[in-house]
Amino acid sequence: MTDVGEAAITALATAMAEAMFAHAGELTDLDQAIGDGDHGLNMKRGFEAVMAELPAIAAKPLPEALKAAGMQLVMKVGGASGPLYGTLFMTLGKEIGPAPDRQELAAALAAAIAAVKARGKSDTGQKTMLDVLAPVQAALAAGASIGEIRAVAGEAADATVPMRATKGRASFLGERSIGHMDPGARSSQLLVEAVCGVLGG
Ligand code: ADP
Ligand code: MG
Ligand code: MG
């Protein structure tokens, strides 16, 4: 397999950034309902920083590009989600090779999710981004098609609506967190969809 090159890295980063820009208002509205109303702005700021550095990032081999993008997210997103998404991308960069196949990608995503859990002292079932990332990783590992992975991400984000948050700001609301989609679950869904779109789904 040939390395994931500059054009592919540019396309992936651009698709993820455009998804965050297009849905910033929606993410902020979701966070308004069960958090402090800044998730859309946080993600927009983070991906603006990635786009500002894109020529330098995309010129790197995939592992280094992922680490560099993750650093931008840690530095610029702020909030709880910045270090968590930063950890996700940086760990992917550490675990993945320059030309990953499905199994390598699935293993790297599993390691990245474990790193997010360690950083966030969190697990699935707590109404967070992990409730989308974990089922997507499982689908990827099980050989799901791109269309199936998109569907899994959408269903997983929807499934956070009836959940009661026990991590992050939404947990302060207790029972009142029930009935709203988790903003980080939605942003994870959007990022997964953006990647699927570039990979051909
Ligand atoms: P903040 O809550 O600091 O304002 P954001 O609004 O940007 O940060 O991000 C909130 C999202 O971060 C939540 O919707 C949730 O998905 C995710 N999140 C928060 N805390 C954790 C955690 N400990 N583990 C995993 N995800 C978390
Ligand atoms: Mg917030
Ligand atoms: Mg905040």
- The pLDDT tens digits of the residues spanning 14-39 come to 999 999 999 999 999 999 999 999 99
187 lines ligand 1 (CB under 6 A): no
Q: Ligand 2 center to residue 153 CA distance, Å?
A: 21
Q: Ligand 1 center to residue 7 CA distance, Å?
A: 31
In a domain, 147, yes or no: yes
In a domain, 128, yes or no: yes
Mutational pocket test of ligand 1: of 27, 39, 133, 161, the residue with most ligand atoms within 8 Å of the beta carbon: 39
ipTM above 0.90 for this complex: yes
How many domains does the chain contain in total?
1
In a domain, 138, yes or no: yes
Rounded-to-integer distance, Cα 200 and Cα 119, Å: 32
In a domain, 70, yes or no: yes
152: CATH: 1.25.40.340
Cα 144 to Cα 60, 139, 140, 151, 153, distances in angstroms: 29, 5, 6, 10, 12
Give the range of the structural domain holding residue 179, as residue numbers without chain letter. 6-199
> pLDDT, tens digit, for every residue of 66-121?
999 999 999 999 889 999 999 999 999 999 999 999 999 999 999 999 999 999 99
Q: If we measure between CA atoms, which residue out of 141, 126, 112 comes closest to residue 184?
A: 126
Cα 201 to Cα 33, 70, 144, 153, distances in angstroms: 31, 25, 12, 13
In a domain, 1, yes or no: no
